[in-house]
Amino acid sequence: MAKPIPSPLYEKIPQKNTLHRASEVTIFFLLLSLLAYRLLSLKNNGFTWLLAFLCESWFTFIWILNLSSKWNPVSYKTYPERLLQSYRVDELPPVDMFVTTADPMLEPPIITVNTVLSLLAVDYPANKLSCYVSDDGASPLTFFALLEASKFAKLWEEYEELRRRIEDATVKSISYELSTADFVAFSNIKKGSHPTIIKVILENKESRSDGLPHLVYVSREKHPSIHTITKRGAMNVLTRVSGAMTNAPFMLNVDCDMYANNPQIFIIQCVCSSVPRMNRTAVSGIAGLQGPNYSGTGCFHRRKVIYGLWPDGRMEFKGRIGLSGISDCPYDLSNRVEAAHQIASCSYEYGTNWGTKIGWLYGTTTEDILTGGPAALIQQKRWATGLLEVLFSKNSPFIVTFTAKLQFRQCLAYMWIISWGLRPIPELCYLALPAYCIMAGSHFLPNVQDPGVLISISLFVSYNFHTLLEYWGAGYSIRACWNNLRMWRITAVTAWLFGFLSVILKLLGLSETVFEVTKKDQSTTPGEGSDKDSGRFTFDGSLIFVPATTLLLVHLMALVTALLGLFDLVGIESRIGEIICSVWVVLCFSPFLKGLFGKGKYGIPKSTICKSAALAFLFLACTITVRK
């Protein structure tokens, strides 16, 4: 009797998006109509009209990319209950889990421990799991925290006691521990100069499915004379070390401030669907093309794919990768440590394809919305910088479309993501136009009596309705939609602007981009902080806040001049559109307006206000000069 064909473990379901398509096409035609109107009336208007036309041309281009990316959305429905009906537990594939951290001060060890514990506790056979923690800071504090976490995982004692011990070690010192055998390797550590450290903290020697997964600490070698690639280099080291020790066919990488909140995530995502987990910010439309983009964390990968092979390709490592494959998952990890040390050295990759054709490719700072604050904006700056570096590199989607098997629409989808980094210039110019027109006595919008004003009004209403529809469909509130709309504006003229400038300086050979570790927040007590302050925008003395503060002050000055009738030659009614736009910009930057009067970390520092005020008055002086 023939063996019955097993039911599929997942199903790819096209999503109905008729309403969204209609909304997006409507906005597209309104954008084209606005461009046509501006082009036809360009001779009768001045510089502001031309600048608005150029900015709106960019917005139209971005909307075309957006339209193509979202046109065929799909979702994946998984059937985990069918898995064990078709396969035995011992037939499930092994998974290597990667957790990355770099600085115990910016990324407190208790956060890393929480991430590791959540991964060790997933609903999956323990003998099929291995967790590798990469510590780029080679910190004995991080290693101590993982040792304590391993004891906790064995006993599952009171969590508060575990947290207390780790936080006490963070505040005080663990120098007394350095004399023990476990900490000998950390005794002469210097920042940026230390040997490879690999420690097997937990080992499931008996291969018990109800035991604990392997837990391995990895700190790659660093030397002052050898340039160290940032997180991408750490990921490549983890890939090689795990290949030498456990060599699971699937890999999961997780940032140290993430955690698995679904214990069945491995069965649902990795085994059933066999596709990378999409980041929430990624659209399902990209999954309907050649698959979703790699979003930096929380993603499953096939090891073969990271090695540059097709999923059904043969594991031919010799020469090309410099690592001989391991056919089975070994259970005596201690015997593999010496080999792992060799491939974690800082000079190992020279003469190999690692970082160029194999593994995570080098050349950018990005890997991988938000309330706001310095840490969030630094992260956004790093993303914008990295995306632009990809755009101007040999791995640009346009180039890969011709040199590899990237489809044209998938190329457009990647361009839609990468274009975030190019957004700040047209966005900043367009945001400054209303204030400039008010103070210069010019205009960039059609007059109220002009029929063309209906195009602008329809476009504004349609776009915001479409955005609200998307957030509502995703289960978000109107307030969440408004907060994200504001943050897109704020991020564009702060983090993304500095990311753009960083890449320009790099292209000119004047500077190198730097990987910046963002500070991870933690609450040491359950009652720390207040609900009133939860999610509030925070500030510091960083220059990253100067452009947005300057823009806000410029618009406040413009509104004051309009209300007082200063520089008024043509009447306020002829610039009512610009005044409404200026009020809208002030509303979008309301966190900065509150920051002008806030205190402590919720207030903009006086030094930032002074710099911004000077730039705002300079803008006013230039406007008056042009007006004359």
Q: Which residues are catalytic?
A: 136, 368
Tell me: is residue 255 an annotated ligand-binding position: yes
> CA triplet 208, 297, 261: central angle to 5 degrees?
55
Q: In what order do the strands lie in the sheet with 95-101?
A: 197-202, 214-219, 129-135, 95-101, 250-255, 299-302
| Dihedral over Cα of 316, 319, 323, 326: its sign | positive
Tell me: is residue 107 an annotated ligand-binding position: yes
Identity at 273, one-letter amino acid code = S
Strands 250-255 and 299-302: antiparallel
| CA 377, chain centre distance (Å) | 11
3-state SS of 451-505 is: CCHHHHHHHHHHHHHHHHHHHHHCCCCHHHHHHHHHHHHHHHCCHHHHHHHHHHH
Q: Can you tell me the distance from the alpha carbon of 276 to that of 162, in angstroms, rounded to the nearest whole number?
A: 33
Q: Can you tell me the distance from the alpha carbon of 439 to that of 556, in angstroms, rounded to the nearest whole number?
A: 11
Q: Are 490 and 591 contacting, i.e. CB atoms less than 8 angstroms apart?
A: yes
Tell me: is residue 231 an annotated ligand-binding position: yes
Identity at 258, one-letter amino acid code = M
Q: Can you tell me the distance from the alpha carbon of 139 to that of 436, in angstroms, rounded to the nearest whole number?
A: 52
CA distances from 182 to 197, 201, 381 (A): 11, 10, 38
Q: Are 433 and 584 contacting, i.e. CB atoms less than 8 angstroms apart?
A: no
Tell me: is residue 158 an annotated ligand-binding position: no
Q: Can you tell me the distance from the alpha carbon of 273 to that of 435, in angstroms, rounded to the nearest whole number?
A: 51
Q: Can you tell me the distance from the alpha carbon of 267 to that of 80, in angstroms, rounded to the nearest whole number?
A: 6
Binding residues: 107, 136, 231, 255
Which residues carry a binding-site annotation for UDP-alpha-D-glucose? 107, 136
Q: Which residue numbers belong to the known binding site for Mn(2+)?
A: 231, 255
